[in-house]
Structure 1
Amino acid sequence: MTHALAPFVVALSPYELGPSAHRGLPSSTITVTIPESDAVEIAWLERPQPPQRFSAAVAGLHLDAAELRQQGGTRGVWLTLSPLGAGALLGVPASELSGQIADLADVSPAMAHLPEQLAACRSWPQRRTLVENALLTGWARHQRHADGRDLAALKALSSTARVEEAAGLLGCSRRHLSSTVRAALGVTPKEYQRLLRFETARGALATAARTETISLATIAAQSGFADQAHFTREWRAMAGCTPTEWLRTEGLAA
């Protein structure tokens, strides 16, 4: 990864969706799905809204799940950005994307042609270079939006279990921290920490499934939940299913 992009790009990888729907779970990152050909169709699981089609989709921070389908060609590029990467690379702060999904062409018109350009590439290295160059162009145009003060707030929230502790690390009031995080991300500090806990648990659950040593109580404790019941309630609320149901749909269940 190019040095300029490293603080903002969490992951850049190819994907191939199967014939069934993929469940998009909440996370602490901005997700960009760029199909190589056919549009991607996305529907929120718990919202009374019809599915929407996107030539390429940008999902802001959200605390509920969605389903993704891509008919015909099923390949593409999966890009995840840190919350501050939305402003620094796409030119739109994460707060404007919070709780919604938008077309990449509307968020960053300069990247509107990425899907058709990806389809013309013959290898993954070519596709990766194409996307990285587009992001570098965005960085050159939008880097003034990168704010170190916001980064300090997110680091404090990531390293503590409670909002009050994060405010203490920063030497500010909880109210000041809340206004800073809301302005930057569009979610509250408590909601951001919920996303971090969920993300940690998701990784631990997938790892445990691969090693066939699943203990929901252990995962709950290691991920910062009060107990297994708390973990299960949060998972159902944010994923729209139980942990074991998610493992089964992802093909990770024993």
Structure 2
Amino acid sequence: MPVVHPALAPYLRTITTYDVAFGGPGVHIGMPSTELTFVLPLDEPLEVSWDDEPLTRTVGWSSVSGLHTTAAAVHHGHHQRGIQLGLTPSGARALWGVPASALAGRLLGLDDVDPGLADLPARLADLTSWDARLAVVERALLDSLDRHAQRPPRPEVGQAVALLTRGRSVAATAADVGFSRRRLTTLVQDEVGVSPKSFQRLARFGRAHDVMRRSVLAGEVSVARVAAECGYADQAHLAREWTGFAGCSPSEWVRREFPNVQAVGAGPA
């Protein structure tokens, strides 16, 4: 995974290049998380919708999705290449000049979010190396950071979001930052676009998704172990949350995303 520039590190959690061959056309499940997703496809426009709902479908050479609590359906052909970035909620202010709440639950293109970055896909089109593409993306984001120079959210809100991301309960987070739960809910909702409880659930689910994915790739999948490691009451609790966020059970997710894996642990999923 490419190294994030220090100036972008508070706002850009991940930057990933992908070059994937598929057995044929299909749909990849874009999982909810506490990151805003920014994708720059290289070979063909990206086609995305919420839960494969036609009325929400977008097609373009860039894709920006705010925080969401339902899965995205990412349509693909036989081959996809591109660059995917995961922004922190504060990255929306810093890089696009708007709070994350303005993008929550939305699928947009770069020209909708920041016209100053609208030419970025065209600038990548003729480049032939990943290093060159990543250098152009990095320079564009550094320029965007300078252009917007947004004030960060008030420190208490930033602290609250960080605590919730780490799994702190809503009540404990409110006490730590000195707000009532009602006040905390208003401030967090205004900043990120989802309630503190939903944000905390997204953070826990994101950890579970990461652990599950690593487990699948290692050939050691156990839903019960993932549930215990990520703070769920039991395997059934994780299965309910997974179905609510991903639109399918953990077992079905593995079958769809990793078709060569034969089984997912023991017991119901």
Q: TM-score range by the shorter chain?
A: over 0.9
Matched, 1:144 2:147: no
Q: How many residues align?
A: 254
Deviation of 1:114 (Å)? 1.3
Runs of at least 4 residues of structure 1 off by over 4 A? 70-73
Matched, 1:134 2:137: no
What is the aligned counterpart of 2:5 among 2, 5, 9? 2
> Which residue identity does 1:245 align to in structure 2?
E
> Which residue identity does 1:220 align to in structure 2?
A
Are 2:65 and 2:107, in contact at CA under 8 Å, matched by a contact in 1? yes
Q: Output the CA distance in 1 between the equivalents of 2:167 and 2:104.
A: 23
Which residue in 1 is equivalent to 2:185?
178
Are 1:46 and 1:240, in contact at CA under 8 Å, matched by a contact in 2? no
Matched, 1:27 2:39: no
Find the residue that maps to 1:21 and give its secondary structure: strand
- Provide TM-score, normalisation by structure 2: 0.88
Matched, 1:82 2:88: yes
Matched, 1:68 2:74: yes
Matched, 1:253 2:261: yes
Q: 1:127 to 1:148 in 2, by over 3 A?
A: farther
The range that moved more, 40-49 or 99-108, is 40-49
Which residue in 2 is equivalent to 1:192?
199
Which residue in 1 is equivalent to 2:50?
44
Are 1:24 and 1:68, in contact at CA under 8 Å, matched by a contact in 2? yes
Q: Output the CA distance in 2 between the equivalents of 1:53 and 1:179.
A: 33
**Sequence identity percentage:** 38
Which residue in 1 is equivalent to 2:109?
103
Which residue in 2 is equivalent to 1:239?
246
Q: 1:128 to 1:154 in 2, by over 3 A?
A: same
Deviation of 1:70 (Å)? 4.6
Q: Deviations over 1:189-210 (max 9, x none)?
A: 0000110011011111112223
Gap regions ≥5 residues in structure 1:
none
Deviation of 1:118 (Å)? 1.0
Are 1:167 and 1:177, in contact at CA under 8 Å, matched by a contact in 2? yes
Q: Output the CA distance in 1 between the equivalents of 2:85 and 2:38.
A: 5
Which residue in 2 is equivalent to 1:205?
212
Which residue in 2 is equivalent to 1:221?
228
Q: Output the CA distance in 1 between the equivalents of 2:47 and 2:62.
A: 10
Are 1:36 and 1:116, in contact at CA under 8 Å, matched by a contact in 2? no
Find the residue that maps to 1:194 and give its secondary structure: helix
Give the CA RMSD over aligned residues. Answer: 1.9
- Provide TM-score, normalisation by structure 1: 0.93
Are 1:40 and 1:71, in contact at CA under 8 Å, matched by a contact in 2? no
